Amino acid sequence: MPGDYGVAQMMEQRSVAEAADYPDTIGDLVDRAADTHGDATLAKWIESGVTMSYAEFAEKTRKLASSLVARGIRKGTHVAVMLPNVAAFPITWVALGRIGAVMIPVNVGYTQQELTFVLTDADAQFVVIDESALPALEAMEALPPLLSDTRIIVHGGTRADGQSWEALLDSGDPEFTAPSPISRNDLLNLQYTSGTTGFPKGCMLSHDYWVLIGSLAAHWRGSSGDVKNVLIWAPFYYMDPQWQFLMAMQLGGTAKIAPRMSMTKAWDYMVDEEIHYCIFPEPALKVWPESETDKKLHLKFVSIFGWSAESRKAAERRFGCVARESFGMTEIGGGLMVPEQAGEKAYQRTCGIPAAFREARIVGADGKDVPQGEVGELWIAGRGILWGYYKRPQANAEGFSGRWFRTGDLFRQDEDGFFQIVGRIKDMIRRSGENIAAQEVEAVMTSIPGVLEAAAVGVPDPRRGQEVKVYLRLSEGVSQQDVSPETVIAHCSSRLARFKTPRFIAYVDEFPRTVSNKIRKGDITPDGTHPRADSWDRTEGRWLTAADADAQTG
């Protein structure tokens, strides 16, 4: 008989979560938290030492909102926000939410070309920009059509014809009242996704989306004990720091905010700031070898994504915390969760069962649900998911089937009802009629001691359609001699079927990445370079030159 694995407890928690009284808007959420927690510390910016209480944060967002309205921002106005991990980011976000305006988070590392695309595509009418990011804006030949010099607000400095963010905050009215009513279904963010290929798309996300994702995250993480200190170390223009900030608020805790992602500093952050929760990257387990210093950590719950069974067990053993997988996307927020009480099930490669307000099904190419145990595409429906992609009718037609959002991810459901990810539909390797999930190959690669990251791709082959190639990024201090191609193949012998075992192996110092830090597989090999060149060929037992690669594919 199938086991329970904490499903009963999670279903009970779901019922409680779905029956809860949620604020309608992000402004309501902030005000409710300020009324409850007042002078308690809501946020601390770790390296600068700046802190802010719940009451102070709420007041600053009202003051800024009043000044932004005076500048001409109204309900529905599109405002690009290009700020690093400073207090101005969440203050601006909530201030815009109080007005009913729409925030467009923008990566501060964007070039002139990337910035031009997003500002134009998103129909940005105002820009809030950090002084350090001005060179990309100044490099534009002309501002996008809906922008003007007078609608550029600079944080940390000034610009001719522009406005100082600090001056707007200082001159604002703390008794601000929105000029137009705002509902939970109003648009709050145009959050641009960064898929592994193509231009990013703007996800239209409502107030309800953000209130639910922050509140439900607090509900699940808070169940594992007194979780209060939340480490935010990704840039705020990504979605994770935004919901983590709201989660900390709903927990009545403190968001501890790092200026940037840093594997070398994160350990000290977690120890010194007594961090209870964070998103924990699997490579950190190798960067930080097990030692007595593990006892200095205060972790209670960590979110993990795609970890091996060995890593899941190691994290819980080393840190005495709960490590749980989940599945989410910018488009849907949280979709699947592994129950805290899952026991041994939590060590399997599973994303869990549907979270609160979520329905899930696995669908075949014919649009019908596949039998349990078979692979199909995961479809998700429920309250508060994205409206759709901004100005992308074709993507919306392809991405939705009625109320169901098509995730583009391949899953199977096991006999216990748990959903297991197989890979992206577009990330499958087709070799001699066999479908090979790149994620499965990559998981085996990263279980090799000394391998920090891996990317598996299909390379064209005249006989088999595609062959499997892996790119390996090794840990610091580890050489190719330590993790030789022969070592890789030997490691695969008991873990992968022979047709899944990589034929080609290559090594990289760094991977090209999207703005959300995903590996851009299509850009690993430079344009014009043969995909087999400078690779070790398992079949021929040698390294291939460009001439060898050309000769093989003729």
| pLDDT tens-digit series, residues 468-482 | 999 999 999 999 999
E runs forming strands in 233-286: 254-257, 277-279
387-417 pLDDT, tens digit per residue, is 999 999 999 999 999 999 999 999 999 999 9
208-424: CATH, from 3.40.50.12780, 3.30.43.10, 3.40.1030.10, 3.40.50.300: 3.40.50.12780
Given this model, what pLDDT does residue 433 score?
67
Alpha-carbon gap, residue 123 to 78, rounded angstroms: 7
Higher pLDDT, 62 or 431: 62
Residue 544 φ/ψ, nearest 5 degrees: -105, 135
- Count of other CB atoms within 10 angstroms of residue 465: 14
pLDDT at 440 (0 to 100): 82
Q: Element (H or E) spanning 155, and its range?
A: strand 152-155
**Dist. CA 80–CA 152, nearest whole Å:** 10
Q: Do the first three CATH levels of 38-182 and 208-424 match, i.e. the same topology?
A: yes
Residue the block writes with tokens 């069962």: 353
For the stretch 282-314, pLDDT in tens is 878 888 889 999 999 999 999 998 888 888 999
Domain extents in the chain: 38-182, 208-424, 432-553
User: Which residues is 256 bridged to in the sheet?
Assistant: 44, 231
Pairwise CA distance, residues 503 & 516, whole Å: 30
**Mean pLDDT, residues 484-503:** 91
Q: How many CA atoms lie within 13 A of 209 on its CB side?
A: 26
Other C-beta atoms lying within 10 Å of the C-beta of residue 96: 28
Query: Across residues 195-220, what is the average pLDDT?
Result: 87
Whole-number Å distance between alpha carbons of 284 and 263 = 7
> Is residue 369 scored above 90 in pLDDT?
yes
CB 29 within 8 A of CB 249: yes
Of 132-146, 208-222, 504-518, the one with minimum mean pLDDT is: 504-518
Query: Do the Cβ atoms of 22 and 28 come closer than 8 Å?
Result: no
Beta strands 333-337 and 322-329 are antiparallel
Measure the CA–CA gap between 244 and 246, rounded to whole angstroms. 5
Residue 189 confidence (pLDDT) above 90? yes
Question: How sure is the predictor about 196, in pLDDT bands with cuts at 50, 70 and 90?
Answer: very low
The pLDDT assigned to 198 comes to: 53
89-103, 124-138, 197-211: least confident range: 197-211
Lowest mean pLDDT: which of 149-158, 197-206, 235-244, 382-391?
197-206
Burial class (CB in 10 A: 0-12, 13-18, 19+), 542: exposed
CATH number of 38-182: 3.40.50.980
pLDDT in tens, 297-356: 999 999 998 888 888 999 999 999 999 999 999 999 999 999 999 999 999 889 999 999
Q: Is the pLDDT of residue 553 over 90?
A: no
471: nearest Cα among 519, 421, 399: 519
pLDDT bin (cut points 50, 70, 90) of residue 197 is very low
Per-position DSSP letters for 297-357, written without gaps between them: ----EEEESS--HHHHHHHHHHH--EEEEEEEETTTEEEEE--TT-GGGGGSS--BEE-TT
pLDDT at 426 over 50: yes
Of 41 and 234, which is predicted with more confidence?
41
For the domain spanning 432-553, the CATH number is 3.30.300.30
Angle at 239 between CA 30 and CA 67, to 5 degrees: 45
pLDDT, residue 462, reads 79
